[in-house]
Amino acid sequence: MNISRRSFLAVAGCSATACVAACHTVEQSAKSSNKRRLKLGISTYSYWHFRPPKISIETVIEKAGQLGVEGVDLLHRQMDSDERTYLLKLKRHAFLNGVDLICLSIHQNFVSPDAAVRAKNIEHTLHCIEMAYQMGIPCIRLNSGRWGTVESFDRLMELRGEEPPIAGYSEDNAFDWCIDSIGKCLPKAQDCGVILGLENHWGLTRKAEGVLRIVNAINSPWLGALMDTGNFLEDPYEKLKMMAPKTVFVQAKTYFGGGEWYTLDLDYQRIAAILVRAQYHGYVSLEFEGKENPDTGVPKSLALLKDAFGRELSRA
């Protein structure tokens, strides 16, 4: 077939235009795919605040699936068993309900002058890392622990999380114990591919400086900070900003109906901006701690988080 010079140039021109258009489409698609989206989870604690009746993990998984969130954060003390058959049952149940198991929130206490007590808590943490591995959970919530000189948790909350050290010891001693204990858990964490997230909880980590002192001293890719938005009782935003660069997981508290121990008026637009600026790309797991029925309080809370983080992510 003979093609004239004019026809050839016309066809070539069309091809070039089509190529430019295609490249532009690919570029726009790439930009669009780089847009981050909010990954929401629900802590099973949102439905059970250590008061009867206990709500089963399976029930929370089902509710999470119905609400369309992507993950469930398991509270270890809410689980019915540590047996392997139960762990695999939860893993299967989550899969069938279209949600991921994203964190295992555990309790331990490394703040003790008794080496045998610390060893017991290290063993407990290693056991929980293995449990997380069996369930396919990539993150564990750690506590530093606390002195225990204030026995009642209700009284501790009245004291805003402050308690004196055991006589004859200092916080420097406690930091050394905690750093050493967590260090002994890291080889197992790395072997199982489970990231340890140290929460700003009570005890040594009631301040952002305490969390960072431990995380920076250990300096491992398998240890980061777990940001609990509701555990800094005064002036939280600068403290959350300090933690944000090291944060590997976020637990976001809300208090519809008034809090169980206290109520904070948290500005989630501001918190979302802190995390977006720090380039945090992980899960935000709701910890509903209000007295309202969770069947209404949890959906309200999810809407609040979606709105705040959605606005900030759209600007990023």
Question: For the chain, how many structural domains are there in total?
Answer: 1
Quick check: is 149 in a domain? yes
Q: What is the largest CA-CA distance in the chain?
A: 100
DSSP 290: B
Quick check: is 17 in a domain? no
Convert the pLDDT of each residue in 138-182 to its tens digit.
999 999 999 989 988 888 888 888 899 999 999 999 999 999 999
Of 64, 240, 261, 52, the closest CA to residue 154 belongs to 261
Rounded to whole angstroms, how far apart are CA atoms 278 and 244?
Answer: 6
Give residue 283's domain range. 35-315
Residue 23 in tokens? 């490249």
pLDDT of res. 35: 66
Q: H/E element holding 23?
A: helix 5-33
Mean per-residue pLDDT, 74-93: 98
Quick check: is 20 in a domain? no
Quick check: is 212 in a domain? yes
pLDDT of res. 34: 54
Is it the case that residue 23 has pLDDT exceeding 50? no
pLDDT of res. 12: 45
Place of tokens 């500005």: 267
Quick check: is 113 in a domain? yes
Q: H/E element holding 226?
A: strand 223-228
Q: Is the pTM of this model over 0.75?
A: yes
Neighbouring residues of 105: CB distance < 8 A, sequence distance ≥ 6? 43, 45, 73, 74, 75, 76, 140, 141, 251
Phi then psi for 139, rounded to 5 degrees?
A: -145, 145
Quick check: is 217 in a domain? yes
Rounded to whole angstroms, how far apart are CA atoms 222 and 200?
Answer: 17
| Residue 38 confidence class, pLDDT cut points 50, 70, 90 | confident
- Cβ pair 112, 165 in contact under 8 A: no
Q: Read off the CATH number of the domain in which 141 is found.
A: 3.20.20.150
Is it the case that residue 220 has pLDDT exceeding 50? yes
Mean per-residue pLDDT, 40-45: 98
Quick check: is 13 in a domain? no
Rounded to whole angstroms, how far apart are CA atoms 142 and 108?
Answer: 7
- Cβ pair 35, 312 in contact under 8 A: no
Convert the pLDDT of each residue in 273-300 to its tens digit.
999 999 999 999 999 999 999 999 999 9
Quick check: is 10 in a domain? no
